[in-house]
């Protein structure tokens, strides 16, 4: 089940100590949702090839880690990093304060 939240942030109650949180960030169309689906091994996030991006809101999906722990993946809408860099750092600060073990993974696309 996808839990969708507004651009104001992702709110998750009672994080478990045996959880890891991965936040996918980057520009629109770089494949954040596709990578989240690949990591989870299922089509959890809507994803299609599009230069303008598909994800409009933050979404959270969970999966199991090999050690039995929980992996939370937060898929974020694409950003134009040059315009939204301060908002991005604010989001990262808020999530890092909530999740002790949050990992932020910037997704970039190689240019031809």
CATH fold for domain 17-107: Rossmann fold (3.40.50)
pLDDT for 61-96, tens place per residue? 999 888 888 898 988 888 765 556 666 666 666 666
Domain residue limits, the chain: 17-107
* The pLDDT value given to residue 42: 94
Rounded Cα gap, residues 37 and 32, in angstroms: 9
pLDDT at position 54 is 77
pLDDT at 81: 56
The predicted structure's pLDDT at residue 18:
76
DSSP states of the chain: --EEE-TT----SS--TTEEEEEEEESTTS-HHHHHHHHHTS--S-----TT-S--SEEEEEEE-TTS-EEEEEE-----HHHHHHHHHHHHHHHHHH-TTEEEEEE-----
At 35 the pLDDT is 93
| More confident call, 20 vs 112 | 20
- pLDDT of 109 reads 74
Q: Tens digits of per-residue pLDDT, 1-60?
A: 344 444 555 555 545 567 888 888 888 888 889 999 999 999 999 888 877 777 878 888
Distance separating alpha carbons of residues 109 and 26, to the nearest angstrom: 9
């Amino acid at each position: 089940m996808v839990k969708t939240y507004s651009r104001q942030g992702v709110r998750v109650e009672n994080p478990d100590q045996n959880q890891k949180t991965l936040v996918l960030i980057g520009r629109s169309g770089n494949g954040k949702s596709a990578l989240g689906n690949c990591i989870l091994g299922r089509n959890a996030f809507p994803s299609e090839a599009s230069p303008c991006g598909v994800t409009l809101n933050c979404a959270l999906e969970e999966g199991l880690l090999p050690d039995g722990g929980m992996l939370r993946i937060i898929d974020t809408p694409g950003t134009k990093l040059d315009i939204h860099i301060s908002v991005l750092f604010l989001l990262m600060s808020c999530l890092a304060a909530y999740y002790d073990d949050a990992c932020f993974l910037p997704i970039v696309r190689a240019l031809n």
